[in-house]
A and B are shown apart, each in its own frame.
Chain A
Amino acid sequence: MDRLFVFDDYGALLGLVHNSLIAAALLGVVGGLVGVFVQMRDMQFAVHGISELSFAGAAGALLLGGSVALGSVIGSVLAAALIGGLGVRARDRNSVIGVLMPFGLGLGVLFLALYEGRAANKFGLLTGQIVAVDTVRLGWLIGVSVVVLAGMAVIWRPLMFTSVDPEVAAARGVPAGALSIAFTLLLGLAVSLAVQVVGALLVLSLLVTPAAAAFRVTASPVLAPVLSTVFALVSAVGGILLALGGTIPISPFVTTISFTIYLVCRAVSARRRRTGWGSRGTEPASAPVGSEPSAAAVG
């Protein structure tokens, strides 16, 4: 166990993972924001399904000697298009995902079995890797992040409307079907980012857990995405910084940090529920919702 953390030469190591840190920070921002709608639209299962197909795409690229980043993007977008196109209703969607996911995973396993390169590459796709982000791939990650962030900025408000209040949103002319497909595609791109940093199996820790934690402590439409982003950022970057000192992959650190944040937020919300969150009526707006727990949860 004493070999778990070795912080000699930490500065030199930091230079080596410079690209990975940037990638993790990007992923934190993207995952935190997209996660808000994953939570609101109950799409956790879709995240998992897309990540398995993204893994298959990346494994296929590895086998063919192509770009892993491009492969994972293709796999994700294909999965997202199928899920978004075939399953608009939640029940259809889940069955489509349930059918796609094992197929994608099987395909990925097949590609990896055929691949004769470094074993670390194979394992990295499933559980994440630290120093795997070279400059070319970082360019990909930045490009994809920019697309996702710009897309989310454009559709944010109508997507929020149709997610919370589909009937009234439809009455006000919000195109629910188009938004659902657009969001699923953006989600696919975000998943392909995450697959390359934390690996296909652990994508949920950056696309689901941070938003789930944030929703525990705030109901503000501004603070929820901000907190979710901060949580995802802390998990991703913190995970890499901790993993540098050890010999194990980054994913356990990322998942542990994000899970810890979630537990803290649950505790905060449980305490507040006891003492009364909805203190409205007697003291209207005396407790601005979500302003006080941010300090507790980030620390």
Chain B
Amino acid sequence: MTTSFPLRTARETAPGAVDPLRGGETSLTAARVHRGPGGTRTGWRTWTRSSRPSPRGILGPVTTSALSLRGAGMAFGDRVLWSGLDLELQPGEFLAVLGPNGAGKSTLLKAVLGQQPLSEGELLVADRATRRGSDRIGYVPQQKSMDAATPLRARDLVALGIDGHRWGPRRRTADERRRIDEALAAVGATGYADAPLGLLSGGEQQRVRIAQALATDPTLLLCDEPLLSLDLRHQRAVADMIDRRRSEHATAVVFVTHEINPVLDLVDRVLYIAAGGHRIGTPAEVLTSATLSDLYRTPVDVLNVRGRVVVVGTPDEPGGCTHHELTPQPLERQTAGRRGGGAA
């Protein structure tokens, strides 16, 4: 089992480690990142969220990788989207997946979801081969407005995340209803839990979707452009919600986006996919003029402006500019891009 971070094997039960969404019914040992005030890693430790030891918790393998890709490749005939992709995603780690349109970012998510088989290599989710419909994976799609006449309330959408795939009539258990309430509370959606979905704003719908994705207590959260078409305030709120989840529950996050700045201060590593291959590393390592020029096979400039990353000269954008943000962010966030400063 390969890990790219030091990991202590001693297991200790952290106070309050019982997952409120799952209520300790499942046992899962996970590593967790601790951040100091400056946002740097202060160390790793493992903890168990089990209150009731299960055979798997005692004898089973310790989960060290929420997602692992080994020599993974995706090709459609002659067209190779990416190949030779090696990635070990730690529990609680935040990975941003960047790249131009058509680079294969969404296909990567499809592969993780088990909807699109790899053309080469291996893909494991929480140390097991991925499969369709796994409840270890939560999925947050792009915000799309719901039909105003959809006969569902916010609470019902979250409930579908738990049992929407099950056939036949059934009554939700008290435990499931509690999990739904807690998932809604965790994203601050209790106030409109019983409002019709179609009447919620885009930001509210997106919070409900996050609650839905987290209701099964996944070890891996996949987000496909979840901030698209949200205003800045809601972008921040949704990003913070995802960040809180991964720091409190060690949920690993794969965040596909074309705009890294709203999440720049949350990102541990970046996977940048372009025509010239891919790079994995910290934002400071990957978001440089040299690396991106290499990936795009054309001169590209990466500028750091007020803690934000601006990429100039990419061939796929008419203005030659991606990851730009024209609207100023709130003041307290302008200084928050702690990793952005070193990327020049």
Chain A residues within CB distance 8 Å of chain B: 36, 39-40, 153-158, 160-161, 164-165, 167-174, 214-216, 218-221, 224, 277-278, 280-281, 284-285, 288-289
Measured as residues with beta carbon below 8 angstroms from the partner, the interface class of chain B is 35 or more
Selected contact of A278 from candidates B161, B166, B196, B209, CB within 8 Å? B196
Q: A171-B133, A174-B164, A284-B190 are in contact. Are A219 and B196 (CB under 8 A)?
A: yes
Chain B contacts for A155, CB-based, 8 A = 167
Interface residues of B in 57-85 (CB under 8 A from A): none
Would you list 28 pairs from A and B whose C-beta atoms are within 8 A, ordered by A residue? A40-B150, A153-B169, A155-B167, A157-B168, A158-B164, A158-B165, A160-B152, A164-B157, A165-B160, A168-B161, A168-B209, A170-B115, A171-B137, A172-B164, A174-B133, A215-B151, A219-B152, A219-B199, A221-B152, A221-B153, A224-B151, A278-B192, A278-B199, A280-B191, A280-B192, A281-B192, A289-B153, A289-B194
Distance of A269 Cα from B151 Cα, bound (Å):
14
User: Which residues in chain B, 131-182, are within 8 Å of chain A measured between CB atoms?
Assistant: 131-135, 137, 139, 141, 146-147, 149-153, 156-157, 160-161, 163-170
A39 to B151, CA, bound (A): 10
Q: CB-nearest residue of chain A relative to B201?
A: A278
Interface residues of B (CB under 8 A from A): 113, 115, 131-135, 137, 139, 141, 146-147, 149-153, 156-157, 160-161, 163-170, 190-200, 209, 212-213, 222
Q: Which residues of B contact A157 (CB under 8 A)?
A: 160, 163-164, 166-168, 170
List the 7 shortest-distance A-B pairs measured between CB atoms, nearest first: A173-B133, A219-B196, A161-B164, A224-B151, A280-B192, A171-B139, A284-B191
Residue of A nearest to B197 (CB): A219
Please give me the residue from chain B that is nearest to A212 by CB atom.
Answer: B149
State the majority secondary structure of interface residues on A: helix
**A-chain residues with CB within 8 Å of residue B168 when the two chains form the complex:** 153-154, 157
* Interface Cβ pair total, 8 Å cutoff: 119
If A155-B167, A160-B164, A280-B192 touch, whether A172 touches B152 (CB-CB below 8 Å) is no
Nearest residue in A to B200 (C-beta to C-beta)? Answer: A278
Q: Is the CB of A288 within 8 A of B191?
A: no
Say how far B222's CB is from chain A's closest CB, in angstroms.
Answer: 8
Complex contacts, A285 vs chain B, CB 8 Å: 191, 193-195
Do residues A220 and B153 form an inter-chain contact, with CB atoms below 8 A? Answer: yes
A172 close to B165 (CB less than 8 A) = yes
Cβ B195 vs Cβ A278 within 8 A: yes
**A277 contacts which chain B residues (CB < 8 A)?**
196, 199
- 10 more contacts with CB within 8 A, not counting A168-B139, A170-B115, A284-B190, are A40-B147, A161-B165, A164-B146, A165-B164, A168-B160, A173-B165, A219-B196, A221-B151, A285-B191, A285-B195
